[in-house]
């Protein structure tokens, strides 16, 4: 099982800043960014002007090439502004999960040695300044830019987006701080940047224990966005009305690759427009943004699409402008895929598969793929990417269509986990193969099927059971809205199968009813021993189900 993607499209050796520059020259008056609920709109030319201003401002505050700046908060215009301003000044952007509490924040800031941190005063119940104060009480008595903290020794500068708090700069001050000399300094720094420099540290979802800082270079994310955009064919069939046909609705969080690379980097490379529907995910807001802003593409996780489809007033939204999009982040139940394509007018919808450590996309469907391929696979290998499947026990290559651990090699493999050579060498082999930890198969055409996480596989009395298979089957039950299958401990079998089911609104259902539904349709040993009806699942902020937490909850609930 081995496949190599096509090599006919050359890789780009450009920095993020160079890519944005070229696109701005090509489409100065096209819309680049819309923050739907905040009423913020920027053309490429307006955006570029503010990026330069912000980058010069950061240099004026004393930040230097290679310093780390943490971006912490929901989807706001300033998030994207900082993403490109830091890249232009060679400052490394650290994507900090907006839901982090004090101990988690302290862990990541210390791990990567953040010198600056940027956040809004408050979002919903998250009071960012107060949370930071728990790890950095010194801030209240500090002068802006002069923080000296015992527990966060690297942190000197805090920028608040929308207010002036003790020890912090207001974002407006940063925008005004740079003068001519700083702009000159910025141009000089830009000339020293290499596309192999680190530019972004993404903390991986932490669905497996403490988060690790995947470090990505310009080359990683520039090429991934370039190749993903080409695969999506966004620049084809453009009408006469400028980039009306390249409007992307992005309900996913910016601190996650799906939006920062799949949205913003695609914008910087292909001149598309990013429409952020709300500061944090709301199904209703996403539908509203698509209909009001006439979006042609929609990006999200399966959970987000399920949520949009289950809005009570779904039928009142005009989604006729949609033609395609990307669904990614976790396995897509076939029933859901069919429903989205038909009910949301998205014939060109594709599945993408990847990992943060691979910048992120490695497999992606073609808009024109058959329904079967869209349902059964995560698409075709991306250019300049190699993939192989190995038996996780023996390390031997397996034949085509036989499951094993998926490994990836190519331009997309991260530089490593920041300041963690031990964890890096656990996942990247001396030959530069990245071990995904995902179980999958490759077919003779270069398409991949993902079966689940290696660690999620259930071994019941010696039988290997893949949760995804049972989940997909239970999804066909008319009363089931969403389902997650986990293994729970069992003294006789080692593990037993437990199905956690979320029912459709207004439905009642019994364990007996679902057991009867399974009989004769799936092998007896795959029929869950336990059925638990739940109203929600433990999620990471990027909307991924934390199976290890779900497993713990179920073992507790079932008193195992």
Strand arrangement of the beta sheet that strand 434-442 belongs to: 2-4, 385-390, 404-410, 434-442, 448-453
Residue-level length of the chain: 560
Full DSSP string of 493-544: TEEEEEEEEEEPTT----HHHHHHHHTTTS-GGGS-SEEEE-S---B-TTS-
**Last residue in a domain, options 147, 177, 203:** 203
Structural domain that includes position 75: 44-203
Residue 537: which CATH number? 3.30.300.30
Give φ, ψ of 265 to 5 degrees.
Answer: -70, -35
- Residue 419: both structure tokens together: 């300041």
pLDDT at 104: 83
Residue 128: which CATH number? 3.40.50.12780
**Is residue 84, in this structure, part of any structural domain at all?**
yes
Instruction: Enumerate the H helices of 233-370 as residue ranges.
Output: 257-259, 266-270, 283-293, 302-309, 334-343
pLDDT at 126: 92
* 523 CB burial (10 A radius; 0-12, 13-18, 19+): exposed
* 529 CB burial (10 A radius; 0-12, 13-18, 19+): middle
Domain count, the chain: 2
Q: What is the pLDDT along the chain (560 residues), one digit of tens a residue?
A: 999 999 999 999 999 999 999 999 999 999 999 999 999 999 999 999 999 999 999 999 999 999 999 999 999 999 999 999 999 999 999 999 888 888 889 989 999 999 999 999 999 989 999 999 999 999 999 999 999 999 999 999 999 999 999 999 999 999 999 999 999 999 999 999 999 999 999 987 554 556 799 999 999 999 999 999 999 998 765 444 444 579 999 999 999 999 999 999 999 999 999 999 999 999 999 999 999 999 999 999 888 998 999 999 999 999 999 999 999 987 888 889 999 999 999 999 999 999 999 999 999 999 999 999 999 999 999 999 999 999 988 899 999 999 999 999 999 999 999 999 999 999 999 999 999 999 999 999 999 999 888 888 888 887 778 888 899 899 999 999 999 999 999 887 889 999 999 999 999 999 999 999 998 888 788 999 999 999 999 987 777 888 889 999 999 999 99
pLDDT at 239: 46
- Residue 143: both structure tokens together: 């002068």
pLDDT at 243: 46
**Is residue 288, in this structure, part of any structural domain at all?**
no
- Residue 199: both structure tokens together: 């530019």
**Is residue 93, in this structure, part of any structural domain at all?**
yes
pLDDT at 236: 64
**Is residue 190, in this structure, part of any structural domain at all?**
yes
pLDDT at 205: 57
Strands 361-364 and 324-327: unpaired
Strands 273-276 and 247-250: parallel
**Is residue 131, in this structure, part of any structural domain at all?**
yes
d(CA 543, CA 279): 14
Query: Minimal CA–CA distance to 551: which of 524, 526, 530?
Result: 530
d(CA 230, CA 201): 25
H-helix or E-strand spanning residue 92: strand 92-96
Q: What is the torsion angle, in degrees rounded to the nearest 10, for the CA atoms of residue 511, residue 512, residue 515 and residue 516?
A: -150
**Is residue 128, in this structure, part of any structural domain at all?**
yes
**Is residue 26, in this structure, part of any structural domain at all?**
no
Q: Is the four-CA dihedral 181, 186, 188, 189 of positive or negative sign? A: positive
**Last residue in a domain, options 203, 232, 265:** 203
**Is residue 87, in this structure, part of any structural domain at all?**
yes
**Last residue in a domain, options 155, 187, 203:** 203
DSSP 76: -
Half-sphere exposure at residue 102, Cβ-oriented, CA atoms within 13 angstroms: 11
């Amino acid at each position: 099982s081995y496949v190599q993607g096509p090599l006919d499209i050359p890789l780009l050796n450009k920095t993020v800043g160079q890519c944005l520059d070229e696109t701005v020259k090509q489409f100065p008056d096209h819309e680049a960014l819309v923050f739907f609920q905040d009423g913020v709109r920027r053309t490429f030319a307006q955006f570029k002007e503010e990026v330069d201003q912000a980058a010069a401002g950061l240099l004026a505050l004393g930040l230097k090439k290679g310093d780390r700046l943490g971006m912490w908060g929901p989807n706001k215009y300033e998030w994207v502004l900082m993403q490109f301003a830091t890249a232009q000044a060679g400052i490394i952007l650290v994507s900090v999960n907006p839901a982090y509490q004090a101990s988690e924040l302290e862990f990541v800031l210390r791990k990567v040695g953040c010198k600056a941190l940027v956040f809004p005063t408050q979002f919903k119940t998250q009071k960012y300044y107060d949370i930071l104060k728990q790890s950095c009480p010194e801030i209240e008595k500090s002068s802006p830019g002069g923080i000296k903290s015992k527990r966060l020794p690297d942190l000197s500068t805090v920028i608040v987006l929308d207010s002036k708090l003790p020890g912090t700069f207001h974002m407006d001050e940063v925008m005004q701080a740079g003068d001519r000399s700083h702009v000159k300094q910025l141009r000089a720094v830009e000339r020293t940047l290499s596309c192999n420099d680190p530019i972004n540290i993404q903390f991986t979802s932490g669905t497996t224990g403490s988060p690790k800082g995947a470090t990505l270079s310009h080359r990683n994310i520039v090429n991934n966005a370039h190749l993903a955009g080409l695969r999506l064919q966004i620049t084809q069939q453009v009408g006469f009305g400028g980039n009306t046909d390249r409007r992307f609705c992005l309900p996913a969080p910016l601190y996650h690759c799906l939006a920062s690379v799949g949205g913003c980097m695609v914008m910087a490379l292909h001149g598309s427009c990013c429409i952020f529907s709300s500061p944090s995910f709301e199904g209703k807001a996403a539908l509203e943004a698509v209909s009001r802003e006439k979006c042609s593409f929609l990006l999200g996780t399966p959970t987000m699409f399920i949520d949009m489809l289950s809005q009570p007033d779904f039928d009142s939204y005009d989604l006729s402008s949609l033609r395609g999009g990307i669904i990614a982040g976790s396995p897509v139940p076939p029933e859901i895929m069919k429903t989205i394509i038909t009910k949301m007018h998205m014939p060109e919808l594709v599945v993408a598969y990847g990992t943060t450590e691979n910048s992120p996309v490695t497999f992606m469907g073609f808009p024109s793929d058959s329904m079967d391929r869209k349902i059964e696979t995560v698409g075709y290998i991306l250019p300049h990417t190699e993939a192989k499947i190995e038996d996780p026990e023996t390390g031997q290559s397996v034949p085509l269509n036989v499951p094993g651990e998926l490994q990836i090699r190519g331009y997309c493999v991260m530089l490593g986990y920041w300041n963690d050579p031990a964890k890096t060498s656990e996942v990247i082999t001396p030959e530069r193969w990245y071990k995904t930890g995902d179980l999958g198969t490759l077919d003779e055409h270069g398409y991949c099927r993902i079966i689940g996480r290696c660690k999620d596989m259930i071994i019941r009395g010696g039988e290997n059971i893949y949760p995804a298979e049972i989940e997909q089957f239970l999804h066909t039950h008319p009363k089931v809205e969403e389902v997650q299958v986990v293994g729970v401990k069992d003294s006789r079998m080692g593990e037993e199968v437990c199905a956690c089911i979320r029912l459709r609104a207004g439905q009642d259902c019994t364990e007996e009813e679902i057991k009867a539904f399974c009989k004769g349709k799936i092998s007896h040993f795959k029929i869950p021993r336990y059925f638990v009806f739940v109203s929600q699942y433990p999620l990471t902020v990027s909307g991924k189900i934390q199976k290890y937490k779900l497993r713990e909850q179920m073992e507790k609930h079932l008193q195992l």
